[in-house]
Amino acid sequence: MPRPSTKTREVPRTVPASATTPSASRPPAALPRRRVALIVETSNEYARGLLHGIRAYIREHPHWDIDLDERRRGEATGWLRDFHGDGVIARIENPAIAAEVLAAKVPCVDVSAARQVPGIPWVETDDAEIARLAFDHLAERGIRSFAFCPAPEFNWSEWRQTRFETLCAAAGAKCAVYAAPEGKALSHDEQLESLAAWLKGLPKPLGVMAAYDITGRQLLAAAKLAELPVPDEVAVIGVDNDELLCDLSDPPLTSVAPDTDATGYLAAQLLDRMMGGHRVAAAAHLVKPIGVIPRGSTDTLAVADERIAAAVRYIRAHACDGINVSDVLEHVDMSRRVFETLYRKTLGRMPHEEIVRTRIARVKDLLSQTDLPLHEVARRTGFKHVEYMSVVFKKKTGLPPSHYRDKRGS
């Protein structure tokens, strides 16, 4: 909302300074209060992350009054039909919630992937990028056999599966996809038995992407039932980084962390514009995930040659100490030419690339999680000069380090 112009009022010279008003300009007009309904459940980590992001926006723009009732995922309570407010942010998961939101007849932003109301802005996580991060994480561990375990009732699961299969095919690998037996609903134990039989029949070592963390926990339980060691024979990665679920798993579940705070913040920002009379495109606004949070379920290196495995372990432990390929060669009994040829054949990249990838991953962590100045980030990640770090980082990510930090909200 445009603010009124301010005018400077001259103070007569005969009036003592102590008698003048403390400010020479009129205070800006206060923004009108907005009443906003949040149709977002609090029962899972993803939805709570959205609420954290919305809260962050409200703290910066404290002119919202929030209505938030307790509900389960996908539950339509009907109270929104009598809502007399200014806007709605909703997880529109089904036709019942869609009808409830449309009945309110106010601006709305959808934060669900179900796409029940195509004509409104939609803010969601980038599922193709989530699948890429999961695939790369498994492939970096030398895994060459892949599988995907879906949650077929959700669009985001289908999108993740499609991208994961495409990445597998591009790498020359097949991707098995779990399909539950048709004809009857399975009990919890029957579901685990079905998953266990599926895992047993797949080539090992195997890397499985679960559609989300709940499915990932099921896979870990099924692997235990099938007496398949995790992560040595079956490595599992989930999505959502629900820390409680991941840490209660045995072993703890590696997971891709979506940037739910940024998703909620963006949804609030778009709704605020709409409530202020601005036009917002009724399109998908996708938010990149934060990255992979590694835990025990993928802590493996599926490399038959122990010399290459030792080299990878050494690189990951010491890349940020400023090592180069010559340092790595001191830990393997091979000539440089033979080593680099075997390394590329085994992992699909050169040892120098591994060193740079490891350093850049650490740079990302420090930019996202700390306020360290760039010269200190460079020092801690093995770069002698901050300028060189910036050049390499931009080449690998497409962004200068400072812009990457700004996007992550540090």
> What pTM value is reported for the model?
0.75
What percentage of residues in the chain have a pLDDT greater than 90?
A: 64
Instruction: Give the pLDDT band (50/70/90) at residue 30.
Output: low
Tens of pLDDT along 348-402? 789 999 899 899 988 988 988 788 999 999 999 999 999 999 999 999 888 899 8
Q: What is the mean pLDDT of residues 134-157?
A: 93
From its phi and psi, is residue 277 left (phi > 0), alpha (psi between -120 and 50) or beta?
left
Q: What is the pLDDT of residue 386?
A: 94
Domains of the chain: 34-126+260-290 (3.40.50.2300), 127-257+292-298 (3.40.50.2300), 306-401 (1.10.10.60)
> Range with the lowest mean pLDDT among 30-39, 233-242, 280-289, 377-386?
30-39
The yes-or-no verdict on residue 167 having pLDDT over 80 is yes
Q: How far apart are CA 312 and CA 288, in angstroms?
A: 28
Mind spelling out the 3-state secondary structure of the chain?
CCCCCCCCCCCCCCCCHHHCCCCCCCCCCCCCCEEEEEECCCCCHHHHHHHHHHHHHHHHCCCEEEEECCCCCCCCCCHHHHCCCCEEEECCCCHHHHHHHHHHCCCEEECCCCCCCCCCCEEEECHHHHHHHHHHHHHCCCCCEEEEECCCCCHHHHHHHHHHHHHHHHCCCCEEECCCCCCCCCCHHHHHHHHHHHHHCCCCCEEEEECCHHHHHHHHHHHHHCCCCCCCCEEEEEECCCHHHHHHCCCCCEEEECCHHHHHHHHHHHHHHHHCCCCCCCCEEEECCCEEECCHHHCCCCCCCHHHHHHHHHHHHHHHHCCCHHHHHCCCCCCHHHHHHHHHHHHCCCHHHHHHHHHHHHHHHHHHHCCCCHHHHHHHCCCCCHHHHHHHHHHHHCCCHHHHHHHCCC
Provide long-range contacts, Cβ within 8 A and 24+ apart, for 99-102. Answer: 100/39, 100/76, 101/39
The yes-or-no verdict on residue 138 having pLDDT over 70 is yes
Amino acid at 265: Y
The yes-or-no verdict on residue 296 having pLDDT over 80 is yes
The yes-or-no verdict on residue 220 having pLDDT over 50 is yes
Instruction: Give the pLDDT band (50/70/90) at residue 29.
Output: low
